[in-house]
Amino acid sequence: MLLEDGGGPGLRAANGFDWRCVTDGVMGGVSQAALVRTVVEGRNALHLTGDVRLENNGGFAQMALDLAAPGEVLDASQHHALLLVVRGNGQEYNIHLRSPDMTRVWQSWRASFRAPESWETLRLPLVQFTPYRTDLAVNPARLSRIGLVAIGRAMRADLALARLELV
């Protein structure tokens, strides 16, 4: 199931929803970031850049995509992994999956990956995602949002995404 193919237009993903750039500013933090669709090393991609800062209990910048309309869910139970075509600055990033069953904004199912300095295809099995601040077991049948996140430490975010799909 294709979610992002690098093509746009604008921040429109292949699933019909728009990507958003979200930082810890929503909670009083001071991290700053931007998300644009551009060409990165010869590939059409979304490009998240910015500075993650820890002041004021901050510490994240993300590109986020709804996977379903409000009140609905994406049933990805027939899929076993996320496939990403990414490049970055060699730093570690997270993928956060959310369900409408999560009642707090900080709850998610998480997995980490290192963004290589040249384009690479990564495969993250859904069984590698772990609950974060929730007792809910990972449930691919009840997805509502995905985020690719620079989080938890002061860092320069530089992450490009050319393709994202559930396989």
pLDDT in tens, 63-77: 999 999 998 999 999
Taking only the tens place, the pLDDT of each residue in 125-167 is 999 999 999 999 999 999 999 999 999 999 999 999 999 999 9
Structure token pair of residue 120: 């690479």
* Neighbouring residues of 50: CB distance < 8 A, sequence distance ≥ 6: 23, 31, 32, 33, 34, 61, 150, 156, 157
Q: How far apart are the first and last CA of the chain?
A: 6
d(CA 92, CA 113): 6
Residue 57 confidence class, pLDDT cut points 50, 70, 90: confident
- What CATH number is given to the structural domain containing 130? 2.60.120.430
Average pLDDT, the chain: 96
pLDDT at residue 7 in the model: 92
Q: Nearest-CA neighbor of 58 among 93, 94, 29, 23? A: 29
User: What is the phi/psi pair of residue 142, to 5°?
Assistant: -135, 60
Name the band, by pLDDT with cuts 50, 70 and 90, for residue 28: confident
R_g of the chain, CA atoms, integer Å = 15
Q: What is the mean pLDDT of residues 20-26?
A: 93
For the chain, the domain total comes to: 1
Are 50 and 88 in contact, with CB atoms under 8 Å apart?
no
